Amino acid sequence: MSTYTLTVTCPSTRGIVAAISGFLAEKGCNITDSAQFDDPGTGNFFMRTSFVSEEGASLAALREAFGAVAEPFAMDWAIHDDAQKMKVIIMVSRFGHCLNDLLYRWRIGALPVEIVAVISNHLDYQKVVVNHDIPFHHIKVTGENKPQAEQRIMDVVEETGAELVVLARYMQVLSDQMCQKMAGRIINIHHSFLPSFKGANPYKQAFERGVKLIGATAHFVTADLDEGPIIEQDTVRVTHAQSGEDYVSLGRDVEAQVLARAIHAFIHHRVLMNGNKTVVFPASPGGYRSERMG
């Protein structure tokens, strides 16, 4: 039996859940997991529903028929085939901890994606990537060639059909044009617990301020640097006795975990935009299973 995920965003009103559940029952589908959120601040309703097609309804048929249900509620909606792996591009510079973590999770099936390319402005991780049989693109970025470099990046995105770009400590600022063109499709890991300690060296700032928590933030990339909607965050405790180098080492682990969790949420269609914020629904039962455990 085919399994699908339906996501819905629309103005809040009566009858939405009834309309969706009635439609799925009529089409011979059984709901296996569902989560919803009604935001009184924005007046918007959000829903994510996983279901099984028990009578053979195809994805195309479900999409075609659901339009009649969605229209009266002005729904922004999508139905996804859970068996279809999302195509992802990873971008990295010279800090490789997030890249290596993602490659491991991908290798064991904990992140069920298709990594269609790794792009870097340096050659440090070319061998690592090629050894995983993943295409590696070295695109050098300078002050003089930045527009051309970004066009090359976009060419890779379009040629591969990538649905998500992950900035795994890619240390180049993307142009406003690229951010707008890829809105909602680029996730960045910021080595700080935003919105505090922004800029080039947040760990140094945190150390100088004597903080007791350091963390990391995964967010969508927008034209406003480090201001995009936040998807995932976490922290680790530190004490007065730890050094700035300790902060960096502890921060690396948090960054890798936060980025992986954000990607996991995105590829399973658990992240819905809510203005400058996000709604992140919990994973469905079995959503964290891996193909192998080591």
**H-helix segments, 186-243:** 202-209
For CA atoms 194, 289, 57, 36, the dihedral sign is negative
Instruction: Kindly report, as residue ranges, where domains of CATH 3.30.70.260 are found in the chain.
Output: 2-81
Best CA proximity match to 81, nearest among 284, 283, 267, 282: 267
Query: Binning pLDDT at 50, 70 and 90, where does residue 291 land?
Result: confident
Does 226 participate in catalysis according to the annotation?
A: yes
Query: What distance in Å separates the CA atoms of residue 102 and residue 254, rounded to the nearest whole number?
Result: 13
CATH class of 2-81: alpha beta
Instruction: Kindly report, as residue ranges, where domains of CATH 3.40.50.170 are found in the chain.
Output: 87-280
pLDDT at residue number 198: 66
Kindly state the average pLDDT of the residues 257-266.
Answer: 98
Among 33, 39, 226, 246, the active-site one is: 226
CATH pick for 87-280 out of 3.10.129.10, 3.30.360.10, 3.40.50.170, 1.25.40.10: 3.40.50.170
Residue in this structure with the two tokens 């195309």, named with its chain if needed: 60
Strand order, beta sheet including 230-237: 136-138, 113-120, 86-92, 164-167, 186-190, 213-220, 230-237
Residue in this structure with the two tokens 């989560």, named with its chain if needed: 35
286: left (phi over 0), alpha (psi -120 to 50) or beta: left
pLDDT in tens, 67-95: 999 999 999 999 999 999 999 999 999 99
**Model-level pTM?**
0.93
Residues 6+ apart with CB under 8 A from 153: 91, 119, 139, 178
Q: Under DSSP, is residue 149 helix (H, G, I), strand (E, B) or coil?
A: helix
Q: Under DSSP, is residue 110 helix (H, G, I), strand (E, B) or coil?
A: coil
